[in-house]
Amino acid sequence: MFTERSGIIVWVNDLKAAGKQLEKYGNVHFISKKLHYAAMYVYTNRLDETVKQLQKLPFVKKVERSYRSEIKTEYNSNIPDKTRFYTL
């Protein structure tokens, strides 16, 4: 039902150009005026070609990929739960 998306960080020189032109490549989530970057989401199946196209833009310094989907988010705790000892 939902298509997979990946996050990327685009470091830019010109914020005005970034705000207008990055919308073509995916969903722009946030643009930092202080640190000059844009956080955006693109479709995972088109990630490589989108990154190559973004790197060719004249106002782009660097494009970084988010590794959040590859990080394990399920945690196991071998320590028993002691909350029942501290109840009133």
pLDDT at 6 exceeding the cut of 70: yes
pLDDT at 48: 94
pLDDT at 25 exceeding the cut of 80: yes
Q: Is 60 exposed, middle or buried (0-12, 13-18, 19+ CB in 10 A)?
A: buried
3 vs 48, residue with greater confidence:
48
Quickly name the fold that domain 5-68 has. Answer: Alpha-Beta Plaits (3.30.70)
Domain ranges (residues) in the chain: 5-68
Within 8 A by CB and 6+ apart from 22, the residues are: 10, 28, 38, 40, 54
